[in-house]
């Protein structure tokens, strides 16, 4: 029987790891991820979970140890945030291109300086090019469910790549929410025993990760690319099966809230999409037909779903919680690249470094951008920064910014 | 502990046609590793000559299973691998085979942590005293005075005392070895494999390319390092220090060959001035003084305990 309970997002991840029967966990503490490691250690200490916990000295080693364990045939897990993830960067590549399935949770947090422990998506977005699957939860229930799904998807022979489950620092990680904890039998039925492309065994001379001729290297990269595309199908199957077992289906790589008849689509990832849904309701009361497109998966990129949800719309507003400096928000760039029949598009940067964004802020943003689009006929603004109630156009996309309003006064 | 070299397995663990330079000490060492541990070994190799010597996929120059890994992660990846194999009930010995750079510099943090956690692995530092794979740059284990492509006037610092640093972690087994003394290295590997916990073997490995000597001389130069007292063969077993036969009698300085015999064969020391050689001699003296002082103290303590 599933248990109706309530817990913090980080605990939800820890329970998913336990239910997935993970055998080796290697992790290093960093706020706001720390609870994950602590909780897993506690579960092991209480005898509720049978796993090796490797208390490594750094995140570089955390992923290396998890990788070693996974290469040795064990289901492995790690979790990190922000600087921890940056420190792991080299191993992200090594793991993915080794085709070693393992799962990592990223509790999103800003990178310094200045030090800031609050939410920002710069960390998770920086992993996009490394070959990992990336999912992003809206709430604690989804964090748990996606983590369980991630084990199954990454260990599917059509995929064989590692996967990241993201959840927003503090907003989810430290917030208690009600959720349903599936029972072990259900998870066992959903998640088959570990499969992987090879296992390091004594007496079987083989090499993993040695030099290859360039042509093979490129072929391997092509294969990773194709596997990530194939993962789409695997995710849909897993999401459907999960739905059959738990009543919560994750068949689609995106969630569309009141999208079908909308004129304006608010697109984004993570917990603030919950607020965006309220904002859409508020906007509809004001006569603006708004909907929300939430990407549950960033890799594979739900290209078809994004395109479909934008067809015939007047405006797509993409909310980004991080910046690709000198250009725009990374999610804006991803989404805009998927849209052929271009509606008006505005990329709004907001909430960076944990700055609070309420549903009222989101409604205000959309209202402002919508009226601008109506006025001008069509707009395409990749980067428009909303900060403490004010809009800050960013060059070169808004001419207002090209001519400084006021010249700085020299000495 | 005696090993009869003629009775060792003949199976090849270093494949012909691999990409090593002629006279390569890493291939010599790896061959001994295979002879000592055989099919039990699973090897983790961080970036370095040994990752390249394997050659191009789909060929494989090492006759043991090898998990290649990024430069800093040898000990960490081996920790995970050893845990997984143990959980699965597989009888294996996980071995890290890392260069001096991968051990003393970039990999030191992971090494220290794995030692502190007591991971059940054998960590071998293949010490060719520089970063050879990237073209002979200085490492923390390059000796004083040695030329490298980043110490054109000779290195101005001493070699990091790594075996002592690892021993200070109080792991069950630390040993030094040399490719010039295969039976000693093989015996030490076998002993290490019989012990549970973290084992460290520091293998001195003269590299003809980086040290500038004739490739036919690798074993001879390795032996000269020991005979001149510049490299000392010893073991710490459960914290107890013991000198090993080739170095035993060299406690007496008069039994040591002059260090010039070792230096003069190597291009990397060609530029040394007499005062540099004097400094090197002082380092040798310092090392021996440390070792003998420890041995004396150990004896004294044991006497007191017995009394
Ligand atoms: C993070 C990182 N920095 C630098 C390198 C480049 N690199 C590869 S091998 C190597 C030196 C290896 O030296 P050592 O560990 O002494 O082994 P050897 O080649 O002498 O066997 C360096 C600097 C790398 N692979 N990874
Ligand atoms: S440079 Fe030295 S250690 Fe490296 S392969 Fe050549 S001989 Fe061996």
pLDDT at B6: 78
Q: How high is the pLDDT of residue A73?
A: 98
Q: What's the rounded mean pLDDT across residues B189-197?
A: 98
**Which residues from chain B sit within 8 angstroms of residue A215, using beta carbons?**
none
Task: Tell me which residue has its CA closest to atom 6 in ligand 1.
Answer: B134
Are the CB atoms for A299 and A92 separated by under 8 Å? no
pTM for the full predicted model:
0.95
B15: Cβ contacts below 8 Å, ≥ 6 apart: B59, B60, B61, B62, B63
Q: Is the CB of B146 under 6 A from ligand 2?
A: no
Residue range B78-104: mean pLDDT, rounded: 98
Chain B residues with beta carbon closer than 8 angstroms to that of A223: none
pLDDT for the residue A399: 63
Q: Would you state the pLDDT for residue B7?
A: 80
The reported pLDDT for the residue numbered A102 is 98
pLDDT tens-digit series, residues B203-242: 999 999 999 999 999 999 999 999 999 999 999 999 999 9
Domains and CATH numbers, chain A: 3-246 (3.40.50.970), 254-393 (3.40.50.920)
- Put simply, the answer to whether A61 touches B109 (Cβ < 8 Å) is yes
Residue B28 Cβ contacting ligand 2 at under 6 Å: no
Q: Which helix (H) or strand (E) holds A368?
A: helix A359-376
DSSP annotation of A398: S
Whether the Cβ atoms of residue A139 and residue A64 lie closer than 8 Å to each other: no
Question: Does residue B74 have its Cβ closer than 6 Å to ligand 1?
Answer: no
Instruction: Read off the pLDDT of residues B278-287 as tens digits, 9 standing for 90 and up.
Output: 999 999 999 9
Tally the domains of chain B.
1
Higher pLDDT pick, B307 / B263: B263
Tell me how far the alpha carbon of residue A314 lies from the centroid of ligand 2, in angstroms.
65
The per-residue pLDDT for A409 is: 54
For residue B29, tell me if it sits in a domain.
Answer: yes
Flag whether B157 is in a domain.
Answer: yes
Domain-embedded: residue B300: yes
As a whole number of angstroms, the distance between CA A157 and CA A71 comes to 15
* B91 located within any domain: yes
Mean pLDDT over residues B141-146, rounded?
A: 98
Q: What separation in Å is there between the alpha carbon of B62 and the centre of ligand 2?
A: 15
pLDDT of residue B279: 96
Residue nearest to atom 23 of ligand 1 (CA): B134
Give the distance (Å) from ligand 2 centre to CA of residue B101.
14
pLDDT category, B1, cuts 50, 70, 90? low
Lowest mean pLDDT among B57-61, B113-117, B204-208: B57-61
Ligand 1 and B23: CB distance under 6 A: no
- B2 located within any domain: no
**Ligand 1 touching residue B28 (CB < 6 A):** no
Q: In this predicted structure, what is the pLDDT of residue A405?
A: 43
For the CA of B61, the nearest ligand: 2
What is the number of the ligand 2 atom nearest to the C-alpha of B99?
A: 3
β-sheet with B173-178: strand ranges across: A207-208, B66-69, B41-46, B93-99, B122-127, B199-204, B173-178, B234-237, B240-243
Distance CA A90, CA A94 (A): 7
Q: Does residue A78 sit at the B interface (CB-CB below 8 Å)?
A: no
Which residue stretches of chain A have pLDDT < 50? 401-408, 411
Please indicate, yes or no, if residue B1 is contained in any of the structural domains: no
Structural domain for B153, as ranges: 9-306
Looking at residue B5, its pLDDT comes to 73
Domain membership of residue B3 (yes or no) is no
Tell me the CATH number at B215. 3.40.50.970
B79 with A54: Cβ contact below 8 A? yes
């Amino acid at each position: 029987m599933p248990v109706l309970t309530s817990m913090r997002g980080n605990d939800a991840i820890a329970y998913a790891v336990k239910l997935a029967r993970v055998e080796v966990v290697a992790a290093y503490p960093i706020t706001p991820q720390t609870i994950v490691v602590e909780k897993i250690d506690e579960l092991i200490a209480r005898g509720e979970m049978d796993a090796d916990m490797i208390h490594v000295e750094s995140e570089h080693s955390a992923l290396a140890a998890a990788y070693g364990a996974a290469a040795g045939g064990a289901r492995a897990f790690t979790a990190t945030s922000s600087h921890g993830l940056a420190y792991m960067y080299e191993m992200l590549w090594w793991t993915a291109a080794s085709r070693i399935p393992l799962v990592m949770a990223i509790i999103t947090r800003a990178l310094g300086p200045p030090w800031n422990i609050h939410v920002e998506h710069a960390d998770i977005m920086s992993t996009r090019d490394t070959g990992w699957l990336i999912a992003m939860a809206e709430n604690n229930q989804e964090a748990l469910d996606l983590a369980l799904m991630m084990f199954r998807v990454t260990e599917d022979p059509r995929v064989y790549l590692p996967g990241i489950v993201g959840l927003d620092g503090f907003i989810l990680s430290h917030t208690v929410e009600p959720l349903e904890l599936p029972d072990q039998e259900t998870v066992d039925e959903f998640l088959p025993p570990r499969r992987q492309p090879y296992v390091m065994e004594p007496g079987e001379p083989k090499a993993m990760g040695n030099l290859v001729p360039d042509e093979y290297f490129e072929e391997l990269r092509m294969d990773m690319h194709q596997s990530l595309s194939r993962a789409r199908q695997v995710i849909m199957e897993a999401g459907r099966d999960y739905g059959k077992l738990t009543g919560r289906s994750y068949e689609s790589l995106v969630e569309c809230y009141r999208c079908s008849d909308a004129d304006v689509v608010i697109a984004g990832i993570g917990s603030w999409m919950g607020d965006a849904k309220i904002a859409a309701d508020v906007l509809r009361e004001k006569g603006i037909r708004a909907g929300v497109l939430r990407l549950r998966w960033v890799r594979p990129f739900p290209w078809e779903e994004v395109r479909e949800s934008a067809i015939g719309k007047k405006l797509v507003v993409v909310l980004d919680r991080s910046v690709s400096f000198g250009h725009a928000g990374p999610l804006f760039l991803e989404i805009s690249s998927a849209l052929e029949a271009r509606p008006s598009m505005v990329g709004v940067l907001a909430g960076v470094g944990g700055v609070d964004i309420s549903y009222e802020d989101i409604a205000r943003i959309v209202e402002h951008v919508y009226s601008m689009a109506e006025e001008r006929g069509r707009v395409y603004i990749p980067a428009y920064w909303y900060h403490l109630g004010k809009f800050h156009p960013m060059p070169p996309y808004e001419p207002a910014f090209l001519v400084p309003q006021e010249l700085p006064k020299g000495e | 502990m005696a090993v009869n070299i003629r009775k060792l397995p003949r199976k090849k663990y270093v494949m012909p046609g691999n990409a090593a330079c002629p006279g390569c000490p890493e291939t010599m060492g790896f061959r001994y590793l295979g002879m000592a541990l055989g099919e039990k070994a699973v090897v983790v190799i961080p970036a370095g000559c040994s990752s390249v010597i394997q050659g191009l996929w789909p060929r494989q120059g090492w006759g043991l299973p090898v998990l290649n890994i990024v430069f800093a992660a040898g000990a960490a990846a081996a920790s995970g691998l050893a845990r997984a194999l143990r959980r699965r009930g597989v009888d294996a010995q996980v071995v890290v085979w890392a260069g001096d750079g991968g051990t003393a510099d970039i990999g030191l943090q992971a090494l220290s942590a794995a030692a502190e956690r007591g991971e059940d692995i054998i960590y071998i530092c293949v010490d060719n005293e520089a970063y050879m794979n990237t073209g002979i740059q200085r490492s923390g284990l390059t000796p004083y005075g040695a030329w490298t492509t980043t110490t054109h006037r000779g290195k101005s610092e001493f070699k990091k005392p790594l075996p002592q640093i690892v021993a200070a972690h109080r792991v069950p087994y630390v040993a030094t070895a040399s490719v010039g003394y295969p039976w000693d290295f093989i015996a030490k590997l076998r002993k290490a494999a019989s012990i549970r916990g973290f084992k460290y073997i520091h293998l001195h490995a003269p590299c003809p390319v980086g040290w500038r000597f004739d490739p036919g001389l690798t074993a001879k130069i390795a032996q000269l390092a020991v005979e001149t007292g510049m490299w000392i063969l010893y073991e710490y077993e459960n914290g107890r220090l013991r000198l090993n036969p080739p170095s035993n009698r060299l406690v007496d300085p008069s039994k040591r060959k002059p260090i010039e015999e070792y230096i003069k064969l190597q291009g990397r020391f060609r530029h040394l001035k007499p005062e540099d050689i004097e400094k090197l001699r002082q380092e040798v003296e310092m090392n021996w003084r440390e070792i003998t002082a420890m041995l004396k103290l150990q004896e004294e303590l044991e006497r007191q305990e017995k009394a």
